[in-house]
Homo-oligomer: A and B are copies of this chain.
Amino acid sequence: MKIETPFERPVGIVGAGLVGAGWAIVFARAGFAVRLFDDDRHVCESAIPWARKQLQALYERGLLKEPPDKIAGRLSLTSSLEEAVAGAAYVQESVFEKLEVKRRLMEALDAIADESVVIGSSSSGIPASDFALDLTISPRVLIAHPVNPPYLVPVVELVPSAQTSPDTVAFAEQLMTNIGQSVVRVKKEVDGFVLNRLQAALLREAWALHRDGIASCEDIDKTVRDGLGWRWSFMGPFETIDLNAAGGIADYAHRLGPLYYKIAQSRIDEGPWDVDLVAQVERDRRERLPASELAKRRDWRDARLMDFAAARFAADES
């Protein structure tokens, strides 16, 4: 299998909602011709105008090396799955996160896909073993799970199933690296992969702290955004603690391990987030941000992510 990024072949995007259209930007920005398809005609037709708007915003923040029109010119709509994947070196699927929907798509791809195509799934929780086994394409399917939006936040988790070939993983890793994503190699399938497992662990403690009256949602958010999140945003948790004890990480584990174990032990009898607790946190959030302002606040978030990306890339390069 050819490992170099095959710019001469297009990329197929199947499922053109927020995630799929976000991926379209990533591939087009890297120089690929991108063919989008979505079962829902309306979703499909909204994708390119939306992508143009995002490209314009990226351009204004200095995050594009080419004019937005040139990049948008690489995007094209197709009216069938066949057309979207014909001749493609890589297909990124971002259809609805439901087992049957993903399985049906894999069967359809199995019937029509070129024998060299690699298929990445944006699945954030369902492993490829659940929907892509025992097909001709199975060795060429893996999870490529992004954070939304993928054209701003670079991480992508690559998770092979037991039937995914090593060549497929190597191809996907090379491709994702070449287009500027930050590849996390998840070696075995596990619920939530790495990213959502880490998020789940932190959220579980956050919900429990709120429930127990230790701190408000806003104060818990502050603890992360004005504290923990600073170092994590450029180092990650292991490097953070490695630098936080004179002798490095083993020294840190020796000093803090007992406290951290005590904290863990205090949470072993937790149940799921219960209905009353969810209602309470929902009220707390809605007091700070009425539901009618969620959309506006998402625009704010995306603008902040762009500023963060611009500052972060400048720092990484200096």
Residue of B nearest to A154 (CB): B226
B222 near A236: Cβ-Cβ < 8 Å? yes
CA distance A285 to B243 in the complex (A): 10
A205 touches B214 (CB 8 A): no
- Closest B residue by C-beta to A188: B214
Q: Kindly state the separation between the CA atoms of A286 and B254 in the bound complex, as whole angstroms.
A: 16
Which residues from chain B contact A297 at a C-beta distance below 8 Å?
Answer: 243
The A interface is mostly helix, strand or loop, or mixed, namely helix
- How many of chain A's residues have a CB under 8 angstroms from any CB in B? 105
CB <8 Å contact, A205 and B198: yes
| Contact (A215, B194) CB under 8 Å given A200-B260, A237-B221, A285-B248 | yes
Q: A192-B263, A195-B228, A233-B225 are in contact. Are A186 and B214 (CB under 8 A)?
A: yes
Task: Report the separation of the CA atoms of residues A143 and B79 in the bound assembly, to the nearest whole angstrom.
Answer: 63
Return the contact of A223 from the options B198, B225, B235, B248 (Cβ within 8 A). B198
Q: From residue A3, how far is it (CB to closest CB) to chain B in Å?
A: 20
Q: Mark A182-210, 1 if CB is under 8 A from B, else 0.
A: 11111110111011111111111110010
**Complex interface: chain B residues within 8 A of A261 (CB):** 271-273
**Contact (Cβ within 8 A) A220 B205:** no
Contact mask A224-241 → B, CB, 8 Å, 1/0? 111111111111111101
The oligomer's copy count stands at: 2
User: Of A47-55, A68-76, A304-312, which binds chain B?
Assistant: A304-312
Say yes or no: A205 contacts B201, CB within 8 Å: yes
Cα separation A253 to B230 with both chains bound (whole Å):
26
A259: chain B residues within 8 A (beta carbon): 125, 191-192, 196, 200
- Residues of chain B with a CB closer than 8 A to A264's CB: 200-201, 204, 270
Q: Is A86 an interface residue (CB 8 A)?
A: no
CA of A235 to CA of B285, assembled, Å: 13
Extra contacts besides A198-B223, A201-B263 (10): CB < 8 Å: A182-B227, A183-B222, A196-B263, A198-B205, A203-B241, A204-B264, A229-B234, A248-B282, A257-B272, A311-B311
